[in-house]
Structure formats: C-alpha cells, structure tokens
Amino acid sequence: MKASINTNTVTNAVTITIEGLNWDDLGQASFYEGEVQVRALLQLIGQELTAHLLRRKAVDTPTLDWEGQTYYRKEASPGHYHTLYGEVVISRHLYQSSAGGATLCPLEVYCQLRFGSATPLLAEVVSFKLASAPAGDVAQDLAKSHGLSLSETYLHHLAQQVGQLAVDKHAAWHLHAAAAPATVALIATGVDGTTLPLVGEAYKEAMCGTIALYDEAGERVHTEYLGTMPEAGKATFAQRFTTSVDRVKARYPHALHVCVGDGAPWNWKFFATHYPEAVWVLDFSHAAAHLHTAAEALFGPGTAAEAYYERWRTTLRDEEGGRGGAAVALFALLPQPGRLVGQCPACARH
C-alpha cells in the first residue's frame, strides 16, 4: 500500500489517498485480520502525515546563518527517523561551515529531534513505558500495540537521552505537581536506597523518597516521588528532598510529620539533622526482620523460634501498643542469673 497527502488551504481540507488497498477483499477476511490491516493502514497514514510535517520544517537555502556563523548547504541526503508509526525516510539538507567540522541539520533542530533518530512523541511514549516496565517488556508492548520493531539497546539509549535532558533542564524547569488536597492531617516522608550496578564501577546506592499526605481518616490522598542516581554523600538527593518536604510542611503547618525508614544509619542521621521534631518510624518489614533475628538468637533456629516470631509479629503489626508488648516480651527473655536463654519467666519459677 502507498499513501499520499493533498491539502487545500482554502477549504482547510486534507485528502488522504491510499493506493493498493482492496477494501472488498479486506471485508471478506476474519474480523481480527481486518483489525490488523486497519492498524497497518493507520500506521501508513501516520507515517505519511509525520513525513509531511517533517518536510514542512526542511530548509534548502544556499547558506544559513546560525549562532553567528555561516553554514553552507551540502547535497541532499536521506534522513531516517523513528516515529510512533514506524520509520520515516525523507530527503533533507545538511549544512557545514567553510572550516568543515560538525554538520547542522535545520530540520532536526526545528523538529526537536534531539533524541537521535526518535521523534519527540516516540521518545515521550517510550520513556513513559520504561518508567514502569523493563526494556524487554516495552519492546514487546510496542511491537504488539504499534507494530514497531525496536531493540532493547535502542530503547535503553533513548531513555538515557531523555533522562540526560531532564538532568540538564532540572534547574530551569518549574514543574507543578498534581493538585494537593486542602486539608491534610499527616505528612509521611520516607527515604530508602537501592544498589545499582554501574558500568565500569562497583555497585552504588541510588536514593528515592516519598512524601505522602493523609486525611483525618487515615486515607492517603496524595503522593510525591523523588529519586536520584548514585552520588557520593547523597547531597543532590538530600537537597531536592528537603526542599520538597519544606514546601509541603509550609503548606500544612499543623499536620503531624512522620519520617519512615529502614535501619540504615544514614536515614536516621538524615532525619535527626533535618526533622528532629518529627515522629520517626522504622518500617514494619525491617522491624519484623529484627524480631525474627531476636527469636532465633533466643530459641535457636527451629519450631520454637518460628512460633514465637509469628506470635509477636502479629502483635507488632495488628495490636495497639504491640511495639511495647513485643519489646517487654523480648526483655523478659534476656538471660538473667539462674535462667536459661529462651526459658519462659513463668516456667523458670517451677
């Protein structure tokens, strides 16, 4: 099939002509096969419309003044661009100064093609998908939903380009988060880290943080997410996170502030430095892990330790005052003169 576009500026009409399409034969096929053909048809139309937009941004003047320097037109050459509808190939001119060196493509500049061969819309869609799925899954999704054949390597490279743009523009951008609720009873801030393997380096820790807002009924009504790549000292994360938290606290000055973290020393030093007035909470999974370690230290690995752990894990999680009850129970089992490790105090009296 082949598509062509004709525009009428007087009537504001766009006519799309499809050649090589036998619609009657298509109607005789199964409905699923018809849907697949319709998708291919829409891809073809999308490619032609996108190519039409690209050509409108093309420049073919003999010379071009750019940032105080004169560039001269070179022979036209094909440009290969990846779009959400498939690859588009168009003829465009490159420009170069009389001294040689790097070439300039006005079309790519004017079309914001700063992600290599990817158009801005494709870069946006790929980045959105990669935020919640690995590259292999994204490649399969794009192949199934859009008929695109893009390698995992290409997707990774595209995501890195988009990410670098975000890093470069972070200081200048003023992003507005989704509308926050008018009334907030509790602000819960959490920090955590995870180690990542870096090319040419060892594993290093990347940081992430959340700022969650809760109403008086204890329902979470808004969450803001922040994160940074590994950095010695974690200064960038600390600056971004504290700036965001200060903004939220200023908006809700009467809300209770709670800091949640695991047992990493950096987290608690961070809380002590910036939020000494807040309520500090060790997250449940790490508290339960410490409880399990204590149970095995007291009873040794086996049924007794597991039974003790399950009993007090449930108390710790579900019962009011469970933290204090679990702590008292542990202290009661600590070795004392005349008592064996793991021996119940009540049993010791018999």
- CA–CA distances in Å: residue 58 to residues 63, 83, 90, 106, 109: 14, 17, 10, 7, 10
Pairing of strands 13-19, 2-8: antiparallel
Under 8 Å CB-to-CB from 63, ≥6 apart: which residues? 70, 71, 72, 73
Q: Which regions of the chain are under pLDDT 50? A: 338-350
**Helix, strand or coil for residue 349?**
coil
Q: Would you state the pLDDT for residue 343?
A: 44
Contact in structure between 258 and 277 (CB atoms under 8 Å): no
Q: What is the pTM of this model?
A: 0.63
Q: How far apart are CA 18 and CA 31, in angstroms?
A: 21
Which amino acid belongs to residue 146? Answer: H
* 92: nearest Cα among 63, 117, 55, 61: 55
- CA–CA distances in Å: residue 338 to residues 2, 63, 115, 341: 92, 97, 73, 10
Q: Which residues pair with 214 in a beta bridge?
A: 186, 220
Q: Would you state the pLDDT for residue 189?
A: 96
Which amino acid belongs to residue 274? Answer: H
Q: What CATH number should be reported for the domain whose range is 186-282?
A: 3.30.420.10
Q: Backbone phi, then psi, for 8, in 5-degree steps?
A: -125, 105
Under 8 Å CB-to-CB from 275, ≥6 apart: which residues? 189, 245, 257, 259
Tens-place pLDDT, residues 167-203? 777 666 665 555 667 789 999 999 999 888 887 888 8
Tokens of 226: 């922040």
Q: Would you state the pLDDT for residue 248?
A: 92
Q: Which residues of 20-49 are buried (b: 16+ CB within 10 A; e: fewer)?
A: ebeeeeeeeeeeeeeeebeeebebbbbbbb
Domain boundaries, the chain: 2-169, 186-282, 285-348
Q: How far apart are CA 103 and CA 132, in angstroms?
A: 37
Q: Would you state the pLDDT for residue 92?
A: 94
Contact in structure between 98 and 72 (CB atoms under 8 Å): yes
* Sign of CA pseudo-dihedral 126, 132, 136, 137: negative
Contact in structure between 155 and 139 (CB atoms under 8 Å): yes
* 105: nearest Cα among 87, 83, 90, 126: 90
Contacts 24+ apart (CB under 8 A), 182-186: 183/215, 183/216, 184/213, 184/214, 184/215, 184/221, 184/222, 184/252, 184/255, 185/214, 185/215, 185/216, 185/255, 185/256, 186/213, 186/214, 186/218, 186/255, 186/256, 186/257, 186/258
**Helix, strand or coil for residue 89?**
strand
Q: Would you state the pLDDT for residue 325?
A: 81
